[in-house]
Amino acid sequence: MWNSNEAVILDLCRKSLAGSLLPLRGRFSSATISGSRMSEEQQKLPQISNWDAQLLRLTAYPVDPEAVDADRWWEELTGNEPESVTKKKLERQYEGLYENAGLQLTINPVVVQWNRFPALDPMDLSDEFPNVGTFPVASTSFASMMEKWLKVSPPLKRLALGTVLLQPVENHESGYRLLNDYLPFVQLDPDTSDFNFKINRRRPSNCGIEGLKINRLMNWSLLRWKIDLNVSQGGNSPRQLAPASGVACRVELDVNTVPDFEGELPQDPLIPLCQELMQLGQEIAAAGDNP
């Protein structure tokens, strides 16, 4: 899970020209929980394509991490060599651009993790928060990539798909009203602040693995963001670019198989399981908090 918006922006800018960032500032809201509200608001929610994917992540937990052989994974998935390879005592990291976005593979003694993130061009900042595309398009593309990897992955005991989604809004008040529509069990007052709603809605899996359950972790908030960059080229004095800023509803999703599932995940249903995890994430983006 991602715990810091500042860290996310710094990660996005690693491939850009030298620059500086202003910290992101979040304005949130308090609320009361209600079990009696109907989902009438959910019937008038925006299209799922209104959500932009800031990040996409697949995390896999090998049965035997020491047996992981990842030397060919990057080339098999992308058809190219990575732009950078970092090897430490307990971690290997491969990184590069693939289809106009950043791709990163990290392997350590616990997990194998694929990250998809925007390739930020500081000379072409827009009023949109950096993203890898609308969620339906980006998630479908990412799931297709990960299904290809699952065909050659080592035996796994857990699988997780995560994303951070942003939906631009006009201001603080309109953002709170939209969050209120996505959260039928929360009564959210636009005049309040410091809202951060996190919940797990566990469901049984339908991919054919007996006894498997899936966590649907979601974390809802409102984000006020600003990117301010100073760019230097050819030894010239740094030049400050016009800042980009905005306000957006934000939901962080972590859809994963439960940790108490015993044994190895069968190989044959891995791709249907990956598809199920992505579909559950898309359901939350489309309908909000729905048990």
pLDDT at 24 over 60: no
CB distance 96 to 82 below 8 Å: yes
Please give the pLDDT value at position 233: 59
pLDDT at 83 over 60: yes
- Which tens digit of pLDDT belongs to each residue from 244-266? 678 999 999 999 999 999 999 99
Mean confidence (pLDDT) of the chain: 83
Beta bridge partners of 105: 94, 114
As for how many domains the chain has, the answer is 1
Q: Which DSSP letter does residue 134 get?
A: B
Tokens of 85: 């390879």
| Residue 79 or residue 232, greater confidence | 79
Across the range 16-21, mean pLDDT stands at 28
pTM: 0.82
Across the range 175-198, mean pLDDT stands at 92
Tokens of 66: 């020491």
Across the range 76-84, mean pLDDT stands at 94
Name the nearest CA neighbour of 218 among 266, 285, 279, 264. Answer: 285
pLDDT at 242 over 70: no
CB distance 80 to 41 below 8 Å: no
Q: Which domain holds residue 104?
A: 5-287
Across the range 231-243, mean pLDDT stands at 59
pLDDT at 283 over 90: yes
Residue 237's pLDDT band (boundaries 50, 70, 90)? Answer: low
Please give the pLDDT value at position 10: 36
CB distance 47 to 67 below 8 Å: no
- Find the DSSP H helices in the chain: 5-12, 73-78, 135-150, 172-182, 270-287
- Which tens digit of pLDDT belongs to each residue from 114-123? 999 998 765 5
pLDDT at 11 over 60: no
- Which tens digit of pLDDT belongs to each residue from 190-220? 888 889 999 999 999 999 999 999 999 999 9
